[in-house]
Amino acid sequence: MRQALHQLHVETNGKGLVEITPEVAAFVGREKIETGLLTLFCRHTSASLIVQENADPDVLADLAAFFERIAPEDPARYIHNVEGPDDMPAHIRAALTQTQLSIPLAAGAMMLGAWQGIFVFEHRRAPHRRLIALHLLGA
């Protein structure tokens, strides 16, 4: 059994989804582990990770619009507003999604479906540099 650890730096442009599938696949390829499990962990409380369709950008637009409706920026709704009107909605959106993903590996590649991609979901308005921990375990 081998394991590898890497930290991926992801630049966001504010709210929205940033696909990181190619960067993650490159890490997996460099490690030459044939069978195993990849864990991704978002080291933030106002961004998250999702596996989502990467073929039609309308899916991502609809997803972002949905989260705008269920966790709107409205300071009158929230007690926590010290960090700005987009912070508490960002925490809610992160709580409703995931900060950790587990993806199996077979034949040295992630077992993603044909239309699946890995995304950082930025929930804050301003651009951020997000850190994603990648841990690979296998043989």
At residue 118, the pLDDT reads 98
Of the candidates 57, 60, 73, the residue with the CA atom closest to the CA atom of residue 125 = 73
Query: For the chain, which ranges sit under pLDDT 70?
Result: none
Could you tell me the strand order of the sheet in which 47-53 lies? 16-19, 116-122, 47-53
pLDDT of residue 116: 98
Which pLDDT does position 113 carry in this prediction? 97
Cα 67 to Cα 93: distance, rounded to the nearest angstrom? 7
CA distances from 96 to 41, 49, 99 (A): 15, 11, 10
Structural domain for 133, as ranges: 2-138
* CATH code, domain with 56: 2.60.120.460
**Number of C-alpha atoms within 13 angstroms, CB side, residue 115?**
7
Give the total number of structural domains in the chain: 1
- pTM comes to 0.96
pLDDT of residue 54: 96
- Enumerate the β-bridge partners of residue 129: 11
